[in-house]
A and B are shown apart, each in its own frame.
Chain A
Amino acid sequence: MVLKKAGLFPIVLAILLLWHLVTAALNVPEFMFPRPLSVAGALWEMLKNGELYRNSVSSLFRVTVGFYLAVVTAIPMGLLIGRQRCLRTILNPLVQFLRPISPLAWIPMALMWFGIGDKPAIFLIFLSSFFPLVVFTTSSVLNIRTTYLRVAENFGLKGFKVYMKVILPAALPEIITALRITLGTAWLVIVAAEMIAVKSGLGYLIIDARNSLRMDMVVAGMVVIGTVGLILDYMVRLLERMPSVEWSRMRR
C-alpha cells in the first residue's frame, strides 16, 4: 500500500508536467485547453466558495439514492428470475429489451414525469443501474452449481430459506462484481443527467462553467468527477474482500 502510494505520486506529477509542457509548447490557447495551473486555480476557487462541496454532495446524494433503489429492487428480482423458469420466460425478454437503451434516452420522459431537481436525475440513475443488475443477478443465479441446490434439498431447505442460505451467498461474488460495474455507469450517467434542468451537481457545474466560458472550471469539474469515481470504485472493491465473498476466489 505504501509502495503503491509512493509510486502514484510521481506518475501524477509527471502527467501534470507533460500536460503543461505540451500545452505550452504548442501554444494552445487557454480557451481551447487550459493549463494545469489555471485548473488548479479554478479548483481552489471552487473549494473556497463552497461550490465544490455543494455540487459534489448533490451528485453523490442522487447517485446514492438512485443506485440503492436499483440494488434493493433489482437483486431480489434477479434472484427470482434466475430461479423461476416461468418468470424468466415472461420477464427476460422485457429486461433484455430495455437494458441496451441508454438512460439518457429517457430524459424527455424523466423531465415530464418528475419535473426538475433531484427526482429526474435519481430516476435516470436508477434506470442505468437497474437493468444491468437484474441481468447480472439472473445469470449469477443460473451459474450456481446444481450440487449446492441438491445438497440444500437433501437438508430439507425450502422456499425463502433456500434463497437466504444458498442462492444469495452462492451468487454474491458475481453480484458484487456487478455492483462495481453498475456503480461506475451510474457515476457516468449522473453528469449527463445533471446537464438537464437542475441547479446543482457536478454535471451542472460543468454546464454552468461552459455557459460562462470558463474552460478552466470545466476541466476542474472533470478532475473532481474522476477523483470521486476512483474513490467510489475503491469503496466497492473493499466489498470484494469480505469473507463471504473471498471464498469464490479461493475456489479458483
Chain B
Amino acid sequence: MLAVAGAIFWLVVISLLRFTLPGASHHETRLKVGFLPITCHLLLPVAMERDEFFRKHVLPVKYTSWPDMIESVKGGELDAALILAPIAISMMDQGVPVKIALLGHRNGTGLVVSSKRPINQVKEFEGKTVAIPIRYSTQNIALLSLLEKEHVDMQRVTRVELPPPDMPSALASGAIDAYIVGEPYATQARLMGVGTIFQKISSIWPGFISSILIVRKDALKKNPTQMDSFIKGLYLQGQWIENNRRLAADMGARFFGLSKRLIETVLMEKEVSYRNILPKKEEFQAIGKKMVRYGLLTKVPDIEVYLKWY
C-alpha cells in the first residue's frame, strides 16, 4: 500500500514539475515547418527575422536527419517542410497528400574529396567510399549521373548514407573517401582543411535543385490564407537575400547554430542562388525520370497535379 502511494505521489510530483517547465507545449495553432541547418533552408531563418507574420504564425522545427523529418510529414505532425526534391517526389508516388510550393535555393552542392588522399579524375572513384545524404537526394542522382557519364562501374563505388553534419569529420577520420552534400557542409571540409571540392555540381547540372518547400494538403485546406502568406513571405526573402548576403548569412548562422564565418563564406562566394525559385514542371519531371533510371522510383507521378494549387 505504502509503495503504491509512493508511486502515485512520484507521478504527481514529476508531472507537476514537467508541466511547470517553461515552454511545455500547449495547443499549437502556428504552422509547423520542418527544416535542417543547411543553406538550402536559409529562406526560413531570414523570414523569421524579417517578417512579422512568421514570428506570429510560424513555428520552425529543427531536424538533424532526413528520415525523422519524412516520418513527421507523413504522420501530419508538420504542416510544411523544406525537404529534398526526390523525397517529395517519392512521397507523391506513395500518396502522401503534399503539394510543391517553392525551391529552397539553386546550386550549392559540392562533391568533396579528402585533401590527404586526393582523387583527381572521376575514374578514380572506383573502389572508393562516397557518403551521400540519403538515397532519395538529388546529390545521389548527381553523383550517379557523373559516374555514368564517365563510364565508371557504379557497382564498384560504395555509397553510404550519412547525416550531413557528420560528413566532414568522417572524411577527416578516413572512414569515407569523398562525399557529396549541400552547403555549408562542402565548404566546411575546406575550412577545416580536411577536404577539397572535386566538383561543384552546378557545373554539370546548372540550376541544381536540392531541397524544396512542400506543404500538406490538409494544412492548406484548413487555413489557405495563412499558408498563402507563408509561401509568399518565404518567396520574397529570396530577393532580399540576393541583395543582402552578409546580413542573411548572419541570421542563418545564429538560427542554425553554425559558425558565422562558414555561412558567410558560402554566401559570399555567390554560387548559391535564391533567384528563380518557383518550381517548374519540366525540372521535376527530369528528376523523376532520373529516379526511375537509378531504381528509386517505378514511374514518374504526374507532377502537374502537385503544382496545381486551387
Q: Which residues does A use to contact B, with CB under 8 Å?
A: 54, 57-58, 60-61, 64-65, 68, 108, 111-117, 196-197, 199-200, 207, 211-212, 239, 242
Query: Is A211 touching B257 in the complex (CB atoms < 8 A)?
Result: yes
Query: Is B21 touching A54 in the complex (CB atoms < 8 A)?
Result: yes
**Count of B interface residues, CB-CB < 8 Å:** 27
Query: Is A58 touching B3 in the complex (CB atoms < 8 A)?
Result: no
Report the minimal beta-carbon distance from B151 to chain A, rounded to whole angstroms.
38
Query: Is A68 touching B17 in the complex (CB atoms < 8 A)?
Result: no
Chain B, Cβ-Cβ closest to A62 = B18
Query: Is B75 touching A68 in the complex (CB atoms < 8 A)?
Result: no
Question: CA A160 – CA B77 in complex, angstroms?
Answer: 43
A117, A211, A212, A242: residue with the most chain B Cβ atoms closer than 10 Å: A211
The yes or no answer to B25 lying at the interface (CB within 8 A) is yes
Stretch binding the partner chain, chosen from B66-74, B133-141, B226-234? B66-74
Q: Which residues of B contact A212 (CB under 8 A)?
A: 257
Q: Which residues of A contact B207 (CB under 8 A)?
A: none
Contacts A57-B14, A68-B7, A196-B68: A115 and B165 contacting too (C-beta < 8 A)? Answer: no
A-B contact pairs, 23 of them (CB 8 A): A58-B18, A58-B21, A61-B14, A61-B17, A61-B18, A64-B10, A64-B14, A65-B11, A68-B11, A111-B71, A111-B75, A111-B77, A112-B71, A112-B74, A112-B75, A114-B75, A115-B77, A116-B61, A117-B25, A197-B63, A197-B68, A207-B64, A242-B2
Report the minimal beta-carbon distance from A58 to chain B, rounded to whole angstroms.
7
Report the minimal beta-carbon distance from A175 to chain B, rounded to whole angstroms.
12
Q: Which residues of A contact B67 (CB under 8 A)?
A: 108
Q: Which residues of A contact B3 (CB under 8 A)?
A: 239, 242
Contact of B72 among A65, A111, A200 (CB under 8 A): A111
Query: Is B11 touching A211 in the complex (CB atoms < 8 A)?
Result: no
Report the minimal beta-carbon distance from A64 to chain B, rounded to whole angstroms.
5
Question: CA A175 – CA B10 in complex, angstroms?
Answer: 20
Chain A, Cβ-Cβ closest to B256 = A211
Contacts A116-B72, A117-B25, A242-B2: A211 and B18 contacting too (C-beta < 8 A)? Answer: no
Report the minimal beta-carbon distance from B84 to chain A, rounded to whole angstroms.
17
Query: Is B72 touching A57 in the complex (CB atoms < 8 A)?
Result: no
Interfacial residues of chain B within 55-86, with CB under 8 A of chain A in the complex: 61, 63-64, 67-69, 71-72, 74-77
Report the minimal beta-carbon distance from A183 to chain B, rounded to whole angstroms.
11
Question: CA A197 – CA B70 in complex, angstroms?
Answer: 11
Contacts A113-B75, A116-B77, A242-B3: A57 and B21 contacting too (C-beta < 8 A)? Answer: yes
Question: CA A199 – CA B23 in complex, angstroms?
Answer: 10
Report the minimal beta-carbon distance from A196 to chain B, rounded to whole angstroms.
6
Chain B, Cβ-Cβ closest to A63 = B14
Query: Is B25 touching A111 in the complex (CB atoms < 8 A)?
Result: no
Contacts A112-B74, A197-B63: A60 and B14 contacting too (C-beta < 8 A)? Answer: yes
Q: Which residues of A contact B11 (CB under 8 A)?
A: 64-65, 68
Interfacial residues of chain B within 5-27, with CB under 8 A of chain A in the complex: 7, 10-11, 14-15, 17-18, 21-23, 25
Query: Is B77 touching A57 in the complex (CB atoms < 8 A)?
Result: no
Report the minimal beta-carbon distance from B74 to chain A, rounded to whole angstroms.
5
Q: Which residues of A contact B72 (CB under 8 A)?
A: 111, 115-116, 197
6 shortest interchain CB distances as A-B pairs: A115-B77, A112-B75, A111-B71, A61-B18, A57-B17, A112-B71
A58, A111, A239, A242: residue with the most chain B Cβ atoms closer than 10 Å: A111
Chain B, Cβ-Cβ closest to A114 = B75
Contact of B165 among A65, A197, A211 (CB under 8 A): A211
Known contacts A61-B17, A111-B75, A116-B61; can you find 8 more A-B pairs with CB under 8 A? A58-B18, A64-B14, A112-B75, A116-B77, A196-B68, A197-B69, A211-B64, A242-B2
Question: CA A196 – CA B71 in complex, angstroms?
Answer: 11
Q: Which residues of B contact A196 (CB under 8 A)?
A: 68
Question: CA A111 – CA B72 in complex, angstroms?
Answer: 6
Report the minimal beta-carbon distance from A146 to chain B, rounded to whole angstroms.
28
Question: CA A58 – CA B20 in complex, angstroms?
Answer: 11
Report the minimal beta-carbon distance from B91 to chain A, rounded to whole angstroms.
13
Report the minimal beta-carbon distance from B43 to chain A, rounded to whole angstroms.
21
Chain B, Cβ-Cβ closest to A50 = B22
Report the minimal beta-carbon distance from B33 to chain A, rounded to whole angstroms.
13
Query: Is B15 touching A61 in the complex (CB atoms < 8 A)?
Result: yes
Query: Is B75 touching A115 in the complex (CB atoms < 8 A)?
Result: yes
Q: Which residues of B contact A197 (CB under 8 A)?
A: 61, 63, 68-69, 72
Question: CA A61 – CA B74 in complex, angstroms?
Answer: 27
Chain B, Cβ-Cβ closest to A110 = B71
Q: Which residues of B contact A61 (CB under 8 A)?
A: 14-15, 17-18
Chain A, Cβ-Cβ closest to B34 = A197
Report the minimal beta-carbon distance from A182 to chain B, rounded to whole angstroms.
14
Q: Which residues of B contact A54 (CB under 8 A)?
A: 21-22
Interfacial residues of chain B within 73-114, with CB under 8 A of chain A in the complex: 74-77
Chain A, Cβ-Cβ closest to B22 = A54
